[in-house]
C-alpha cells in the first residue's frame, strides 16, 4: 500500500467509524477492554489486542490505536492522532519499511472490519452474465455504493446496475430460447414474446397434434423449443 492510499483509507475510517460503540449483538464477541492505558509499545499493543481489529468499534478505539502508532513513530499530536498519522504517511512510508508494512496491514484489517461493522459491506447484486458465477457486487464507498457493479470473479464491470441488469436479461432470454429441461411452463403470451414467430393459433394447433405439451400451468417450454428446432431444421432441409 502506498502513502496516498493509506491516507485515503485513514480518512475513510475517520468518516465511517461510529462515534459511539454500536451496541450490536451480531458482530464479534464484544471485547470489554477499556482504553485507559498509557501508550504501550507496539509489541505490547499487538499482544494486548488478540482480538484486533475487532476491539476497534468506535472512533475512540480508532484514535487510541492511532495514538499508539503516533507514539511508535514519535509523532506528537494535540487533538487528532488519526489525522496526524494520515498527514505523515509519505514520511512514514520512507522511514521504516517493516513498520510501514505492519501499519498498512493493520489499516487494511481495520478498514475491512469497520466497513463491515458500519454496514458498508459490498452489496451483492447477482449472477455474472460473462463468467456465470454469482459474484456481481457493488462495493461500498463512504458516500454509499460505487455506481459501477463489478464481478469479483472475472472483474467485468458495468457502467451502472441497470447495464448489468440488461446484459443479464439478454442472457436469460438466450437461455430460455434454448431451454430443454421439461417442467418449465410458460403462458402463451410469454411464449410469443420469447419467440415472436409463434402465435396463439399455431400453439393451439401444435397442442392439438400433440407436438407440444400443455398443462394447467401453461406450455412446457422444452417441448415448444424442441418443436421450433424441428420446424427450423425441416425448413433448412427443404432448401
Ligand atoms: Zn464474472
pLDDT of residue 23: 52
Q: What is the pLDDT of residues 70-83, one digit of tens each?
A: 999 999 988 899 99
Distance 136 CA to ligand 1 centre (A): 7
Q: What is the pLDDT of residues 102-137, one digit of tens each?
A: 999 999 889 888 887 777 777 788 888 888 777 888
Q: What is the pLDDT of residues 156-174, one digit of tens each?
A: 899 888 888 888 888 888 8
Distance 117 CA to ligand 1 centre (A): 27
pLDDT of residue 160: 87
Q: Over 70: is that where the pLDDT of 239 sits?
A: no
Grid cell at residue 81: 492522532
Q: For residues 46 and 76, what is the distance between their CA atoms, to the nearest angstrom?
A: 21
Supply the mean pLDDT for the chain: 83
Distance 168 CA to ligand 1 centre (A): 11
Distance 127 CA to ligand 1 centre (A): 8
Distance 166 CA to ligand 1 centre (A): 15
For 106, other C-beta atoms within 10 Å of its C-beta total 19
Write down how long the chain is: 239
Distance 176 CA to ligand 1 centre (A): 20
pLDDT of residue 50: 61
Mean pLDDT of 40-54: 62
Distance 222 CA to ligand 1 centre (A): 27
> In 3D, which of 104, 105, 154, 144 has the Cα closest to residue 122?
144
Strand runs (DSSP E) across 30-165, as ranges?
Answer: 123-126, 136-138, 140-141, 144-145, 150-151
Q: For residues 212 and 162, what is the distance between their CA atoms, to the nearest angstrom?
A: 36
Report strand pairing: 214-215 vs 218-220: antiparallel
Q: Over 90: is that where the pLDDT of 188 sits?
A: yes
Tell me what percent of the residues of the chain surpass a pLDDT of 70: 85
Q: Domain segments of the chain: what residues?
A: 3-117, 123-168, 178-238
Distance 157 CA to ligand 1 centre (A): 9
Amino acid at each position: 500500500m502506498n502513502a496516498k492510499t493509506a491516507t485515503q483509507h485513514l480518512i475513510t475510517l475517520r468518516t465511517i467509524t461510529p462515534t459511539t460503540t454500536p451496541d450490536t449483538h451480531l458482530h464479534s464477541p464484544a471485547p470489554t477492554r477499556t482504553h485507559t492505558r498509557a501508550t504501550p509499545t507496539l509489541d505490547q499493543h499487538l499482544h494486548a489486542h488478540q482480538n484486533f481489529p475487532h476491539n476497534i468499534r468506535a472512533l475512540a478505539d480508532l484514535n487510541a490505536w492511532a495514538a499508539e502508532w503516533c507514539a511508535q513513530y514519535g509523532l506528537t499530536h494535540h487533538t487528532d492522532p488519526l489525522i496526524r498519522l494520515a498527514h505523515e504517511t509519505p514520511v512514514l512510508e520512507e522511514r521504516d519499511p517493516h513498520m510501514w508494512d505492519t501499519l498498512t496491514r493493520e489499516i487494511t484489517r481495520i478498514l475491512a472490519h469497520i466497513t463491515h461493522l458500519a454496514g458498508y459491506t459490498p452489496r451483492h447484486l447477482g449472477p455474472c452474465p460473462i463468467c456465470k458465477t454469482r459474484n456481481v457486487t457493488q462495493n461500498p464507498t463512504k458516500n454509499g455504493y460505487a455506481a459501477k457493479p463489478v464481478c469479483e470473479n472475472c472483474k467485468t464491470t458495468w457502467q451502472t446496475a441497470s447495464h448489468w441488469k440488461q446484459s443479464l436479461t439478454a442472457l436469460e432470454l438466450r437461455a430460455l430460447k434454448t431451454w430443454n429441461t421439461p417442467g418449465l411452463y410458460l403462458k402463451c403470451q410469454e411464449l410469443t414474446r420469447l419467440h415472436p414467430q409463434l402465435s396463439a393459433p399455431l400453439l393451439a394447433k401444435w397442442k392439438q397434434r400433440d407436438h407440444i405439451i400443455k398443462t394447467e400451468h401453461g406450455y412446457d417450454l422444452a417441448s415448444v423449443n424442441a418443436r421450433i428446432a424441428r420446424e427450423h431444421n425441416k425448413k433448412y432441409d427443404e432448401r
